[in-house]
Structure 1
Amino acid sequence: MIFKLNRPKSSTEGFKKEIEMVPLLPLRDIVIFPHIMVPLFIGRERSIAALEHAMGQDSLILLCTQKDAKKDDPSENDIYRVGVLGNILQLLRLPDGTVKALIEGKKRAEIRHFLSNPNYFIVEVEEIVESYEHTTEVEALMRTNLVSFEQYIKLNKKIPQEVLQAINTLTDPGWLADNIASHLAIKIEEKQPLLEIVHPVKRLEKVLYVMQREIEVLQIEGRIKSRVKKQMEKTQKEYYLNEQIRAIQKEMGEKDDLRSEIQDLEKRIKRKRLSSEASTKMRHELKKLKLMSPMSAEATVVRNYIDWVLALPWYEKTKDKLDIVEAERILNEDHYGLEKPKERILEYLAVQSLVKKMKGPILCLVGPPGVGKTSLAKSVARALGRNFVRLSLGGVRDEAEIRGHRRTYIGALPGKIIQSLRKAKTNNPVFCLDEVDKMSTDFRGDPSAALLEVLDPEQNNAFNDHYLDMDYDLSEVMFITTANTLYSIPLPLQDRMEIIRIPGYTEVEKLNIAQLFLIPKQRQANGLTPENIEFSENAILNVIRQYTREAGVRNLEREIAGICRKVAREVAKEGLEHKVRVSSQTVSKYLGVPKFRFGRSEEKDEVGLTTGLAWTEFGGELLLTEVVILPGRGKLIITGKLGEVMQESAQAAMSYVRSRASDLGLPLDFYRRVDIHIHIPEGAIPKDGPSAGITLATTLVSALLKIPVHRDIAMTGEITLRGRVLPIGGLKEKIIAAHRGQIKTVLIPKDNEKDLKDIPPRILKAVEVIPVEHMDEVLLRALVLEKPETLFKPRPDADQMPSPAFLPAAAETPGDHEIHAH
């Protein structure tokens, strides 16, 4: 008889039948729902006995899940109270002793009591009967569960499509909930509460909630699997291609094993002596390299970086030769003259021999092309026993050329400083920075500013290259820079360097250089012996004077090489015994017509013609200055391709003459009646510089007073409006040019008297050098005067004197006084 209970026990609710006594089968890792057929494999003796008893009595058996699946002998408290009454359809004993049972769940039931039985569990149970009211809401809930279960099956590939077809035929919400719950891949702790919910609609709602959560989890898992699959496919593809590349390389005899390469890098890092910062960074970079794909772009960048750091000479250095006598011999053997640079190098050696460590000096050799600045740096390296490295800065306009590129850029490299040190293989080479005055600036930065750190003894012990991104010590390096001029080098950069000027060679020095160095070098280069060719001293002087015009000796070497080539042709034609003596008369036979006119003074004293002295990049030159007085209206005409400075000098000289007009016996308005034409010959050659003032003033006075100028006097100096003589540069070259032009006397500014110590004594003996302070002194010495004391004698009637050059006065018109420069 079925009876109703007003209050259900435990967590169940519904109708319960009368109590029955049935055997109990504890289950591990599975929850069985009603209306579900499940095959079970039973191995425990008590469970097999329970099955056999139920099978023999043709009765039902209660299927309850253990709370802990690991327990082989569960007690009453280890078993959930709600389970399923099942019907045993088939029982089969297997050879290994286990039993296979096919059981169909029938009804929910709840355990009331455990009865005593030593062989298996016997329990008193109450069957739970479900009831519900079928409404539209229940129908919607069922359809929602079916749609969600269909989506769940698509995501969980383990459930066959036939299950969905079978579930679609169910019309009972309880049966639907139980069937769906039995196929959900959830834990026992989540399935058991679903079994214990008696009300079909509530159970269906709970199943829908659990199923939606599982669908979301499966979707996330699907996305993760998809990403992992793509990455695996890419990795497998790269691995496959890499293996193919390795196989091809092995066939070709090449070895490119990343593991052996990393091991080799580890050994190199251990053997290499690095700074603490570099050592830490190398270990970090190697650790990153191990985690990278061998063919990735990043791995290549890291490998290159490690190679660069390990290739640098962090502590490798050469031992300095501190023998001053030997160093002096080497310097004299390689170069003639250049006393100041040699003296500075020997001073450095002397100090180095007395102290343990000295910061490398930074010398700047400034001089014209061809005077031996770069070759002197090589000789310094040879004298010190150091490695030599040279870097030309001509045309460099990118800061990264000095400081390097950051590693974020493709193809990044260290700067030229670090690259050159790698070539030098020591951290104390002689480093020649050539053409430091020829760097330029653009949007990529200012390389001269980047050099400030390199050439600062207080900072270059921690030079930071952008590529290395760590400090490198440059304090042991001996930097020697070269430049042709100083004005194009920024002042902050000049401040870092010790300037040593090499003004150029005198004629005598060029003669000795040709005899000691150039002729033997070119003779050997052209396959000649001393017996084949011989140069007379006059022949060399003839080449120097008429075929070259330079401060250095490059063109002189080219001309000597040209003579040697022509002689080599004669020797090849006449035989190895052929001998040629090159004299001053035969030079033109080999070199052709002279290229330059050898500067000489005038043959007689001339009015309005003065010999000035000029400095050029090729050495000193005689600069003849002419002035003529023409009828006119006060125009000052300047020709000869003069620069702005020389034009201003001409105007200053004119103003000085006008200010002394009355003292010189000129009418105060003399300039209004005449045109004055100042001309400097060789007009195609640009001329400029602040040293022609006194020459122009002397020429003007000579032309206006019709007084000749001494032909054997030359002069140099700038003039102020009051007639004071200002100092000039390039005195050595100018006096050498005067000596070459057979000038007997040279007038120089008083302030330049200190520079005479740089001039060879041999030249000072042949040329009389007279320092002057005022233009009046210049005129008294330069003009050919019978009574010098009468030159500046004031003349009260100067205004009534005839106009200069005995020219008639021109009609005055306002604005007629003009200056023309050509």
Structure 2
Amino acid sequence: MSSIEKRVLPLLPLRGILVFPFMVIHLDVGREKSVQAIEEAMIKDRVIFLATQKEAQTDDPGEDDIYNVGTVAEVKQLLKLPGGTIRVLVEGIARAKINQYIDHEPYFSVEVDQYSEEYEKNSQVEALMRNLISQFEQYVKLSKKIPPETVVTVVNIEEPGRLADIVASHLALRIEDKQSILEAVDIAKRLEKLCGIVSRELEIVELERKINVRVRKQMEKTQKEYYLREQIKAIQKELGEKDDRMAEGEELRDKIAKAKLPREVEEKALKELDRLEKMPPMAAEAAVVRNYLDWLLALPWAKGTRDRLDINMAETILNEDHYGLEIVKERILEYLAIRKLAKKMKGPILCFVGPPGVGKTSLGRSIARALERKFVRISLGGVRDEAEIRGHRRTYVGAMPGRIIQGMKTAGSKNPVFLLDEIDKMSMDFRGDPSSALLEVLDPEQNNSFSDHYIEAPYDLSNVMFITTANIQHNIPRPLLDRMEIINISGYTEEEKVQIALRHLLPKQVKEHGLNNNMVHISENTIRRVIREYTRESGVRNLERNIASLCRKAAKQIVAGKAKKVKVTVQNLEQFLGKPKYRFGIAEKEDQVGVATGLAWTEVGGDTLAIEVTTYKGNGKLTLTGKLGDVMKESAQASYSYVRSRAAELGIKHDVFEKYDIHVHVPEGAIPKDGPSAGITMAVALASALTNRRVRHDVAMTGEITLRGRVLPIGGVKEKVLAAHRAGVKTVILPMDNRKDIEEIPNNVQKQLELVLVDHMDEVLKVALREAKFSPETAQVEPPPAVAYSNVVEVEGGSELPNENNLS
């Protein structure tokens, strides 16, 4: 039973601590209200009421922020510290509960009900006391945070309420648990609640002990190894031996631990390190193992860069670095959009196919810049050995990883943009087939576990964005081609070259030659003339070389003091670059008999191809010259057979083929030529020579011919049309089946050319040949009437021939 006494006392709110009755403790008091409460208690009877705040962070607590049940305490000592803080020694006297707050200023003054404990021992209380003492002894024994002497003190306490309060004050409990014990006025309930709390704490302490034992065992093993190594070091030091190898081993062990290697690779590295430490210092294999470990640690197993998935920024960067190439840019932006929506995506394998100098390699660098990825490039031109890709086995002398792993080390990131240049120029010999080794690299289903012969551990290449480049698509091995997305980069129009020169090439060369815009000026018209008369290419490499030549000559004049600013104009261009190398304009200056302009595709883009045919008295022999390949010879034979089969319709006398020899020649005979594209061109030249009708000089054509005169589709339409445009041709004849390829031709080129789509050789002759000229040995045909032309014309078999006055 408990009796109640009402008292009015100053209140001291406590933060993060709770005081039980019979508990002696030091308190540091700094808040102004708390200091005032202490001073008021000292003036009166040294008695103060201690209650704990619900939240320790509250600096200025109100009534709702303080627990209602607290402890009446006596201030035993008071010491003023520097800074206005007071340190007091207090002793708990009894529990009390706040009835009401009397004053809030200058300190809290409260009316409390003070409980004085009167107890009667019974069997229940006695049992609870014994249980509590037993649990407390066990707790002290396990936790080892409380001095053993405390147990002796606790065992000798006879009052059950005091026993509960003393035990609770020694336990490291939460404030909420301590408060619940303080609020338990009934002694039996207090003991029962405390027994439950101590039982819970015992379980936690037991679990902590088990964890500590487990950790200690691991630590003991580590410490044992550490002590043994230290002993070895001490022995070596006493013997005067160097311990560099031990230090090296420790350094490598630390690096392996910090490298975040995959589990399989880490186990392999530690195994190799153990082998290294057991080897004699002068063993030849020690250097091999050390080099292997260096490679394992140098590779970016887990380190990567975060992609910049800002499509607008990427588009800006691509436009800054490259003019045109819209299809390529669109594909890159699509990739970025997918990466933003799908976080886990395998890197695409893009293959840029196009002639030299169109920006394939620099485009890869721009992609890396747009994505904020590392960029690494390797050239596969002339690679013959499979080990160049997969590496050598470590048993070989001088073994090294392959170029793929070397590139990953250079990048220092697991997700770089990796450019494989000149993939069409690989070859194979007795050392293996590197293109087959590349299958594992470029196959998205396999490259997540790429195996290098040197590393001997799977390496994940699935995050790498591979880009390959090639000049010719048909030279790429078919299995490789199947795993890549082909993006054709055909070449640039004249206007695109002008813009590229003004935006990129000219500023770059001016800067590299130590000049600035105040020293040299090259006009747009000058650039245009350089393109027309000093270069003939699909890309811009020769254009850049000519601009560099202009900058060099300008720099020479400035350094020699001949001029402060050099202006290169259309009029003085020849003083810098010499006479023009190419004739810009139409392929031929005038209509000629037996000379037709064809269009050819080459590794460096499209080009015009003049085909000449002449006849002379003989016995009907057909001669082919110009270093023609088998396909081109077959086209010539098919053209000859077609013209001969149509002799009557064309007005050619049959005895011409017995009385005259025919010579077909393709100029620049030292250059090998092959392909089906010149079939209709040869037929036109043959028909012109045998009918003595002139071929239009402003017409170029491409297409394969059959014996019956059908015109079959060909490839490289865009490159060929651009070549015709460069040569100044006005009309281009294309096979009807190549209609779909017209979309690839730039609009500004289409507007300047007349594209004629034909399905039969008769239609080609109607467009390409002029009016007839009469000759006793050759044909006699009537001159054809005129037909109107639009930008793209489809010529049908019954249509009439155009008159030269109506041609654009």
Aligned to 2:515: 528
TM-score, with structure 2 as normaliser: 0.65
Equivalent of 2:718, from 720, 732, 748?
732
Equivalent of 2:378, from 370, 386, 391?
391
Counterpart mapping for 1:480-491 below 5 A = 480-491=467-478
Which secondary structure state, in structure 1, belongs to the residue aligned with residue 734 of structure 2? strand
Equivalent of 2:588, from 580, 584, 602?
602
Give unmatched runs, 5+ long, in structure 1: 1-238, 251-255, 792-800, 807-822
Name the % identity. 61
Does 2:451 correspond to 1:458? no
Shift of 1:630: 1.0
Aligned to 1:198: none
Q: Is the 8 A contact 1:745 1:767 kept in 2?
A: yes
Aligned to 2:806: none
Distance 1:755 1:618 in 2: 19
Q: What count of residue pairs does the alignment treat as equivalent?
A: 546
Distance 1:409 1:714 in 2: 59
Indicate how the Cα distance of structure 1 residues 603 and 416 shifts in structure 2: closer, same or farther if over 3 A, else same: closer
Shift of 1:579: 1.8
Indicate how the Cα distance of structure 1 residues 680 and 401 shifts in structure 2: closer, same or farther if over 3 A, else same: closer
Equivalent of 2:778, from 774, 779, 804?
804
Distance 2:767 2:645 in 1: 20
Which secondary structure state, in structure 2, belongs to the residue aligned with residue 487 of structure 1? helix
Shift of 1:554: 1.3
Q: Is the 8 A contact 2:638 2:707 kept in 1?
A: yes
Aligned to 2:618: 632
Aligned to 2:803: none
Equivalent of 1:441, from 399, 418, 428?
428
Shift of 1:317: 0.5
Aligned to 1:693: 679
Aligned to 1:377: 364
Distance 2:238 2:502 in 1: 67
Aligned to 1:106: none
Aligned to 1:262: 249
Q: Is the 8 A contact 1:605 1:710 kept in 2?
A: yes
Which secondary structure state, in structure 2, belongs to the residue aligned with residue 414 of structure 1? coil
Distance 2:406 2:599 in 1: 46
Indicate how the Cα distance of structure 1 residues 721 and 243 shifts in structure 2: closer, same or farther if over 3 A, else same: farther
Does 2:664 correspond to 1:678? yes
Distance 1:716 1:246 in 2: 86
Indicate how the Cα distance of structure 1 residues 674 and 329 shifts in structure 2: closer, same or farther if over 3 A, else same: same
Does 2:659 correspond to 1:659? no
Give the aligned residue type for 1:764: Q
Aligned to 2:696: 710
Which secondary structure state, in structure 1, belongs to the residue aligned with residue 409 of structure 2? helix
Aligned to 1:29: none
Distance 2:238 2:305 in 1: 47
- Judge which range, 622-631 or 474-483, deviates more: 622-631
Counterpart mapping for 1:410-809 below 5 A = 410-574=397-561, 578-598=564-584, 600-785=586-771, 803-804=777-778
Which secondary structure state, in structure 1, belongs to the residue aligned with residue 486 of structure 2? strand
Q: Is the 8 A contact 1:694 1:717 kept in 2?
A: yes
Equivalent of 2:297, from 310, 316, 321?
310
Shift of 1:564: 0.5
Counterpart mapping for 1:326-345 below 5 A = 326-345=313-332
Which secondary structure state, in structure 1, belongs to the residue aligned with residue 756 of structure 2? strand
Give the aligned residue type for 1:649: S
Indicate how the Cα distance of structure 1 residues 602 and 309 shifts in structure 2: closer, same or farther if over 3 A, else same: closer
Distance 2:443 2:317 in 1: 29
Distance 1:699 1:485 in 2: 29
Distance 1:444 1:534 in 2: 54
Give the aligned residue type for 2:707: L
Indicate how the Cα distance of structure 1 residues 596 and 770 shifts in structure 2: closer, same or farther if over 3 A, else same: same
Q: Is the 8 A contact 2:585 2:729 kept in 1?
A: no
Give the aligned residue type for 2:414: N
- Judge which range, 607-616 or 630-639, deviates more: 607-616
Q: CA-to-partner distance for each residue in 1:541-591, whole Å, 9 max, x for gaps?
A: 22122222222111111111111111111111227x722221222221111
Displaced runs of 4 or more, over 6 A: 242-247
TM-score, with structure 1 as normaliser: 0.64
Give the aligned residue type for 2:720: K
Shift of 1:668: 3.6
Shift of 1:596: 2.7
Does 2:262 correspond to 1:275? yes
Indicate how the Cα distance of structure 1 residues 378 and 666 shifts in structure 2: closer, same or farther if over 3 A, else same: same
Distance 1:604 1:413 in 2: 63
Indicate how the Cα distance of structure 1 residues 778 and 299 shifts in structure 2: closer, same or farther if over 3 A, else same: same
Shift of 1:802: 6.2
Give the aligned residue type for 2:356: P
Distance 1:624 1:267 in 2: 71
Which secondary structure state, in structure 2, belongs to the residue aligned with residue 637 of structure 1? strand
Indicate how the Cα distance of structure 1 residues 742 and 781 shifts in structure 2: closer, same or farther if over 3 A, else same: same
Shift of 1:312: 1.0
Q: Which has the larger radius of gyration?
A: 1
Give the aligned residue type for 1:302: V
Indicate how the Cα distance of structure 1 residues 680 and 761 shifts in structure 2: closer, same or farther if over 3 A, else same: same
Q: CA-to-partner distance for each residue in 1:297-331, whole Å, 9 max, x for gaps?
A: 22222222222112111111100000000001101
- Judge which range, 624-633 or 661-670, deviates more: 661-670
Q: Is the 8 A contact 1:712 1:743 kept in 2?
A: yes
Aligned to 1:134: none
Which secondary structure state, in structure 2, belongs to the residue aligned with residue 410 of structure 1? coil
Shift of 1:333: 0.5
Distance 1:478 1:245 in 2: 56
Aligned to 1:362: 349
Aligned to 2:158: none
Counterpart mapping for 1:284-323 below 5 A = 284-323=271-310
Shift of 1:243: 10
Indicate how the Cα distance of structure 1 residues 394 and 602 shifts in structure 2: closer, same or farther if over 3 A, else same: closer
Distance 1:360 1:306 in 2: 28
Give unmatched runs, 5+ long, in structure 2: 1-232, 781-808
Indicate how the Cα distance of structure 1 residues 245 and 713 shifts in structure 2: closer, same or farther if over 3 A, else same: farther
Aligned to 1:199: none
Indicate how the Cα distance of structure 1 residues 569 and 471 shifts in structure 2: closer, same or farther if over 3 A, else same: same
Which secondary structure state, in structure 2, belongs to the residue aligned with residue 677 of structure 1? strand
Indicate how the Cα distance of structure 1 residues 432 and 383 shifts in structure 2: closer, same or farther if over 3 A, else same: same
Distance 2:449 2:287 in 1: 27
Q: Is the 8 A contact 2:691 2:772 kept in 1?
A: no
Aligned to 1:116: none
Q: Is the 8 A contact 1:656 1:722 kept in 2?
A: yes
Which secondary structure state, in structure 2, belongs to the residue aligned with residue 389 of structure 1? strand
Q: Is the 8 A contact 1:312 1:422 kept in 2?
A: yes
Q: Is the 8 A contact 1:364 1:497 kept in 2?
A: yes
Distance 2:427 2:693 in 1: 51
Distance 1:244 1:293 in 2: 20
Distance 2:418 2:539 in 1: 23
